[in-house]
Amino acid sequence: MSLDGKVAIVTGSGRGLGLAYAQELARRGASVVVNDVDAQTAADAVAAIQAVGGQAVAVVAPVGPTETAKQLVSAAVESFGRLDILVTNAGVLRDTVLWKMSDDDFDTVINVHLRGTFTTVREAVLHMRAAGEGGRIICIGSPTGQRGNFGQTNYAAAKAGIVGMVRTWALELKRAGITANTVVPVAATAMTATVPYFAAAVQAEANGEPVPAFFRHDLGFGTADDVAGLIAFLGSDAAAEVTGQVIGVGGDRIQIWTHPEAALSAYHEGGWSYDALVEAWPTQFAGALQSVGERFPELPEEFKTAAS
Give the start-end residues of each E strand in the chain: 7-10, 31-36, 56-60, 85-88, 135-140, 178-185, 246-250, 253-256
Q: What is the pLDDT of residue 150?
A: 94
For 159-210, what is each residue's pLDDT tens digit? 999 999 999 999 999 999 999 999 999 998 877 877 888 999 988 988 999 9
With a pLDDT cut of 70, the percent of the chain lying above it is 100
The percent of residues in the chain predicted with pLDDT above 90, rounded, is 89
- pLDDT score of 205: 87
Report if residue 93 sits inside a domain: yes
Cα separation values, 133 from 36, 180, 237, Å: 28, 15, 12
239 in a domain, yes or no?
A: yes
Residues 280-299 have a mean pLDDT of 94
- Given this model, what pLDDT does residue 291 score? 95
Angstrom distance (rounded) from CA 291 to CA 269:
29
Beta-ladder partners of 56: 32
Nearest to 136 by CA among 124, 153, 118: 124
Residue 1's pLDDT band (boundaries 50, 70, 90)? low
Helices (H), 133-223: 143-147, 153-173, 199-206, 213
Q: Is residue 295 part of a domain?
A: no
Asked, for residue 100, whether it belongs to a domain, the answer is yes
Is-contact 38 60, C-beta < 8 A? Answer: yes
**What CATH number has the domain bearing residue 90?**
3.40.50.720
Does the pLDDT at position 144 exceed 70?
yes
Contact indicator for 26, 49 with CB cutoff of 8 Å = yes
Query: What is the model's pTM?
Result: 0.95
The CA-based angle 212-217-220, given to 5 degrees, is 100
What per-residue confidence (pLDDT) applies to 195?
83
Please report, for residues 91, 118, 186, the alpha-carbon distance to residue 153 in angstroms, rounded to integers and kept in the order given.
Answer: 15, 19, 19
In a domain, 129, yes or no: yes
- Asked if residue 70 belongs to a domain, the reply is yes
User: Does residue 212 register a pLDDT over 80?
Assistant: yes
Residue 132 falls inside a structural domain? yes
- Domain count within the chain: 1
Residue 222 reports pLDDT greater than 70:
yes
Which residues are part of the catalytic machinery? 142, 155, 159
Is residue 244, in this structure, part of any structural domain at all?
A: yes
Could you report the per-residue pLDDT of 58-105, keeping only the tens digit for each? 999 999 999 999 999 999 999 999 999 999 999 999 999 999 999 999
Domain with 97 in it: 7-187+223-256
Question: Sign of the CA dihedral 210, 211, 216, 218?
Answer: positive
Instruction: List, in sequence order, the alpha helices (H) in 110-196.
Output: 116-131, 143-147, 153-173
How far apart are alpha carbons 235 and 25 in whole angstroms? 8
